[in-house]
Structure 1
């Protein structure tokens, strides 16, 4: 006689959260890359004037598109999600002028951060560069407005599954052996909602399979996450957040002043001890 096993509750993973006001430091970024900090929230990290200009450039951008991969949102740039390396890098090359147009006549805060991090990593003989292939290389970031209409603007998910499944012709799967970091800049935020929520849960491969998200990491059900504690980052325009993307996270429903929740996003992580990659 065969008996069905009861579904196990998801394991609770410890989280280390840091929130403060001011400029971000390369030391803090390295702490997230090394898994020492789970979530880092820097408030008022770049100016309201710069945030407003980037938002205007997004709204007017000729490369603005609707996502058609099952994740509701508008974007400028390219995403490796559910794409093979050839398709992703070709899209990244095509989108590059539109990504650059987000920062026309402006200081690019994402590039400034990477320039500072590159100098710091060089001291330890570690290279920092965009992921690449014979088809092209990743852009500095992408710009996204999530537009889910339910309980979450962006459903709960993890970022590791999509990296593991990026394909044998991609550099990215090696990063999944380490910490996959999501880096977000916020040029615009609504008055209410749109919080970045991170649950105290870093799913294993078997837990992903149990939820049917082993190739995408998206979406985890609210029932599955219900017993888990979580932390909400209450974001404002001009903030920066970095999280360990292996933890389940999502974006709460937005309301309030009608301003968009716009973020500049990319991912980064160690592919080898002497190499950190970024991609979108």
Structure 2
């Protein structure tokens, strides 16, 4: 007699969520990096005027293109997702002028946050830098407008699988052993929806294998997550969100005033106790 083992229910991991309004706390960002906070939502973190200028730069940017890697959306900049290091860094070099045009000459929140975090970490004996290789260096950010249909504009996924399976040519692969942080800055939001949803589940390698997403972390089925509690970040223009990208997360469907959901994004994480890497 053969015993058929039922699929194991996803393990529930508690979420430590912080939401605040106003100035950015670098110490809280470091707490996300260290895995002490699961999600940090900073409301009104940068000005609507700056957000509108970045959005306008996004819409008219000649580097704006549709993603061709199975994830529906439009982007400016490079993604390491499903690419070897040589291809990623070549894409990063090609995208550099478009990313610079996206941010323009404004005092933008991405470079401001990078510089502030770099100073704070330096005081603690920790280096923060863009990830690099013999082929080049990462950009400081990329920009997205997700275009998925149905319940999710961006389906549920985790960010660790793609880092864990990035390959030895990537120095960022070491960050998969620690907390991989996704940093999002919102420059345009629809009237309704477009929430960042995070589930109380941090999948293991075995979990990813069971769902057929071992190397990509994308996408998890809604059936798999049906019994898992979740938290929705209700986002507005000028907000910043940082999450532990090891937890499954996605973007709810959007509707309303016709405005696009545009965000700037990058990843960061400890590669060594004395080194934090920043990449896209």
TM-score under structure 1 normalisation?
A: 0.99
Distance, in Å, in 1 between the alignment partners of 2:218 and 2:95 is: 24
* Cα distance, 1:249 vs structure 2: 0.1
Distance, in Å, in 2 between the alignment partners of 1:215 and 1:266 is: 19
Residue 176 of structure 2: aligned partner: 176
Residue 149 of structure 1: aligned partner: 149
State the Cα RMSD in Å. Answer: 0.6
Residue 67 of structure 1: aligned partner: 67
Residue 136 of structure 2: aligned partner: 136
* Cα distance, 1:28 vs structure 2: 0.7
* Cα distance, 1:60 vs structure 2: 0.5
* Cα distance, 1:168 vs structure 2: 1.1
* Cα distance, 1:192 vs structure 2: 0.3
* Cα distance, 1:2 vs structure 2: 2.4
Distance, in Å, in 2 between the alignment partners of 1:165 and 1:172 is: 10
* Cα distance, 1:105 vs structure 2: 2.3
Distance, in Å, in 2 between the alignment partners of 1:103 and 1:69 is: 25
Residue 79 of structure 2: aligned partner: 79
Matches within 5 A, 1:200-239: 200-239=200-239
Distance, in Å, in 1 between the alignment partners of 2:62 and 2:158 is: 30
* Cα distance, 1:63 vs structure 2: 0.4
Residue 255 of structure 1: aligned partner: 255
Residue deviations 1:189-221 (CA, integer Å, cap 9, x gap): 001000000000000110010000000000000
Confirm whether residue 163 of structure 1 aligns to residue 163 of structure 2.
yes
Moved over 2 A (4+): none
Distance, in Å, in 1 between the alignment partners of 2:138 and 2:4 is: 46
* Cα distance, 1:173 vs structure 2: 1.4
When the two structures are aligned, how many residues end up with a matched partner?
280
Matches within 5 A, 1:12-161: 12-161=12-161
TM-score under structure 2 normalisation?
A: 0.99
Other structure's SS at 2:103 match: coil
Distance, in Å, in 2 between the alignment partners of 1:130 and 1:45 is: 23
Distance, in Å, in 1 between the alignment partners of 2:104 and 2:224 is: 44
Distance, in Å, in 2 between the alignment partners of 1:247 and 1:221 is: 14
* Cα distance, 1:46 vs structure 2: 0.4
Distance, in Å, in 2 between the alignment partners of 1:108 and 1:87 is: 28
* Cα distance, 1:165 vs structure 2: 0.8
* Cα distance, 1:88 vs structure 2: 0.3
* Cα distance, 1:25 vs structure 2: 1.2
Q: Structure 2: which 5+ residue stretches go unaligned?
A: none
